Structure 1
Amino acid sequence: MRKYRFGSREIQSDDPSFPAAVEAAYKNKNSVRAECLCNPPACLPMYVTKQNDRYILKRMPNTGEGHASGCDSYESPATLSGLGQVLGSAIKEDPDSGLVTLKFDFSLSKAAGRAPPAPSDKQGDTVKTDGTRLTLRGTLHYLWDQAGLTRWMPGMVGKRSWSLVRHYLLEAARDKTGKGFDSFERLLYIPEPFQAEKKSEIAQRRITRLLPAVAQSKGPRKLMIAIGEIKALEPSRYGYKIIFKHLPDYPFMLNEDIYNRLKKRFSSELEVWQGLQQSHLISISTFSLGTTHVASIEEIALMNVTENWIPFEGMLDKVLIDAMTEDHQRFTKGLRYNMPASKPLACLSALDTTPPTAMYIVQPGSGEEHEAELNELIDSSTQSSWLWVVENGEMPLLPRAH
């Protein structure tokens, strides 16, 4: 259990008086900051937010690296992943209000007659974003990170399910705001776990949830954001459709153009999904509903996750994640956000070492520029480093706890 200080009083998180202390800190508008005592002699400031009827203690912005690696508030350095590129610009956290403001580089409305955009995060000869706004993929990475789904401990084996994933994603979206919306959670549609005996109830809840995306007689069409696990991607009468695993009776439609570009841009993700039967393929998409209430996708991005719902980029990522999982080690997964695949990042941060160990994979044919950028990243990091240069042969021994 963690120990916190409220003014001159120190309280364990399992103390019966702890919830009242957190509530009091919130009602006093955080005039006296709670402090986390996980990593003495440091006393790291915290703040309190309210979500529905719950009071939640959160770390202050940019302090995650200072917490002990076993603390719930610990966060790997933002510079080791794509988070560092968007933090403070596309993502701004306000401890006074408890809100996080997001800036998107994709539209949440569609004017009549406008062609749909290309599948999100297209990699080619042009630059789509300067990092000041979140791409669709970057948004999915941020939510996954905020939901704690990039963090792994041995005790989690067999305990993650779609129901849990959905719950934490919606909770993570609740205190996020931005231009045109006061709660990101209201923009999100994430299918609830399907139960055949409750099919009608689930359909009614879906209809209510999707009402904001129904086309209006005048003005631009409002878009919502869907996150789901893809079960099938197949032809329909006038194009193609996505069947989500927990939404068997309500397909999301794609026209032929966006389907063809999706296959090209996310060919690697689709190939991995087809080859690894135990993995999951997650999509995030903007969509609208016509007057017939048929869902049509406007923009989409894909992400592979393991059977334990940990994101991975390719087979080498998966091999390392599996090795760490089988070795019963704690770790966090680094995500790219807006960063292109050509840029180096830490695949994992091993949390059982002191300090934590940033784990890098050097892909075959990476080149001198990539090597120079990787060396700069390693030199600037406060973490220890572990390097798997694939061209040199077998994976090195995993970091040992100390």
Structure 2
Amino acid sequence: MANHFLIDNQPFSTSDRDAQAQLARAYATKKRPACPCTRPPVPMYIAKLEGHYIVKRMPNTGAKHAPVCDSYEPPAALSGLGEVSGAAIQEDTESGITNIKLDFALTKTGARPAPAASGAETASVRTDGKKLTIRGLLHYLWDQAQFNRWSPAMDGRRSWATIHKYLIGAANNKAAKGESLAESLFVPEPYSPDRRAEIDGRRRKILMPLVPSGKARRLMLVVGEVKEIGAARYGGKITIKHMPGTALLINEDLHKRLDKRFASELGLWDTLSESGVRLMLIGTMGQNDGGTYSLHEIALMLVTAQWLPFQTKDEYDLIDAMVRANRRFTVGLRYNLPSDRPLATAVLSDTTPAAVAMYALPIQAGATYFEQLAELVDEAQMPAWFWRQGEALPALPATENYVSMPVPSEDDMATEHADEAESAS
């Protein structure tokens, strides 16, 4: 977040020696700071968390900031965030706490069957903006940690130590099911054989709440990079990097559903592994009577070598092209949205006078998709760039005075495909 603001129209920086004292006075008198990235400046707010004052962006104002500002955020409508913000995700500007409503359990009672691998595209595809799916929660944490953002200055600066630190930080000041999200989240710290004893000790302490006690068993969220998915004596097991010697067990039914639901992600992980592509897991984890750990609900997410999330090979190719071209951008995240709903693959923020929404259009898109796409582009009110998957990648938008492409339709694609077929014959 940017650290230069205005308070009472006077310049202020969070790096000033007396910054906390200035913020304390402004907080006590209910004065709002403002971000000077645009004219007029964009209002911000001050939150007091554990005795420390921080300047935060007002909810739903990210798109009002200049694209080059650290507080800039693409319009929520361009991703799945627009559907869940204000409903599943509620930010309290007085306390600074964000309350999150989850559609999955963090306790296990009795011998209930394992739920389907989360994110499943059922026969009656629907979304619910009132609660976050487990995949939606992973997307939210990734967004809050800003790992869906990229600028050339970030090259070579992301490691698991970075991911661990900022994912933990993203869970701070968040509450779910009446508890601190940070206390319900386990992200394995970077492993070192030389520090194995102390790392194992810290892990056991963090996971202590999972020790079985009574009929209702506590579950925790685990986020980690998948090292291997294999067979176990009963079902399967998932090995997470930085957790040597600790496999996460899955029953046979969940193992089969995982392979079916995430067949595309697993295939791309295998195909693109030499390009540095990683497979991230979020799951609800519990401890068994014997001291082993089991997963009860799972979602998977692909990330590039730069830890940028993607879902399809075409999305990967577009993100890779922007990274290679040294562009600055934010990747769109689906949250609860099904795959047949349009969203911006990314938003370029190094273009003037406005950011540019980048759309990679699925080749199987039908009339409903293009109707929704037209509505989305109209709502966003920003220049747009389109790539029809299966075709050559068009030139990326120029950084200055980019002229928006017209919104394509199903008829446009049908006509072009017919022309291509005629030319080929």
If the length of structure 1 is used for normalisation, what is the TM-score? 0.95
- 1:225 has 2:224 as partner: no
- Report the Cα offset of residue 71 of structure 1: 1.3
Residue identity matched to 2:6: R
Q: 2 CA distance for matches of 1:13 and 1:129?
A: 40
Q: 2 CA distance for matches of 1:376 and 1:54?
A: 42
In structure 2, runs of 5+ residues without a counterpart are 401-425
Contact 2:48 2:95 (8 Å CA) reproduced: no
Q: What residue number does 1:16 align with?
A: 17
Identity among equivalent positions (%) equals 42
- Report the Cα offset of residue 266 of structure 1: 0.4
Q: 2 CA distance for matches of 1:337 and 1:208?
A: 31
Q: What residue number does 1:198 align with?
A: 195
Contact 2:126 2:338 (8 Å CA) reproduced: no
- 1:390 has 2:389 as partner: yes
Q: What residue number does 1:170 align with?
A: 168
Q: 1 CA distance for matches of 2:164 and 2:332?
A: 21
SS in 2 for 1:197: helix
Contact 1:3 1:38 (8 Å CA) reproduced: no
- Report the Cα offset of residue 54 of structure 1: 4.3
Alignment coverage as a number of residue pairs? 396
Q: 2 CA distance for matches of 1:366 and 1:293?
A: 48
Q: Give the CA RMSD over aligned residues.
A: 1.5
- 1:48 has 2:46 as partner: yes
Contact 1:152 1:330 (8 Å CA) reproduced: yes
- 1:213 has 2:210 as partner: yes
1:233-272 alignment, distance < 5 Å: 233-272=229-268
Contact 1:2 1:37 (8 Å CA) reproduced: no
Q: What residue number does 1:150 align with?
A: 148
Q: What residue number does 2:94 align with?
A: 96
Report the CA distance shift for 1:21/1:211 in structure 2 as closer, same or farther (over 3 A).
same
State which drifts further: 95-104 or 360-369: 360-369
Contact 1:137 1:284 (8 Å CA) reproduced: yes
Contact 2:211 2:287 (8 Å CA) reproduced: yes
Q: Deviations over 1:35-76 (max 9, x none)?
A: 11111x222221223445643211111111111111111110
Q: What residue number does 1:86 align with?
A: 84
- Report the Cα offset of residue 290 of structure 1: 1.9
- Report the Cα offset of residue 339 of structure 1: 0.1
Q: 2 CA distance for matches of 1:276 and 1:54?
A: 43
Contact 2:44 2:56 (8 Å CA) reproduced: yes
Q: 1 CA distance for matches of 2:209 and 2:154?
A: 36
Q: Deviations over 1:117-173 (max 9, x none)?
A: 111111121346422100000000000001111110101000001111111111111
Q: 2 CA distance for matches of 1:355 and 1:139?
A: 30
Report the CA distance shift for 1:128/1:373 in structure 2 as closer, same or farther (over 3 A).
closer
Report the CA distance shift for 1:8/1:374 in structure 2 as closer, same or farther (over 3 A).
closer
Contact 1:2 1:71 (8 Å CA) reproduced: no
Q: What residue number does 1:3 align with?
A: 4
Q: What residue number does 1:67 align with?
A: 65
Contact 2:20 2:52 (8 Å CA) reproduced: no
State which drifts further: 99-108 or 122-131: 122-131
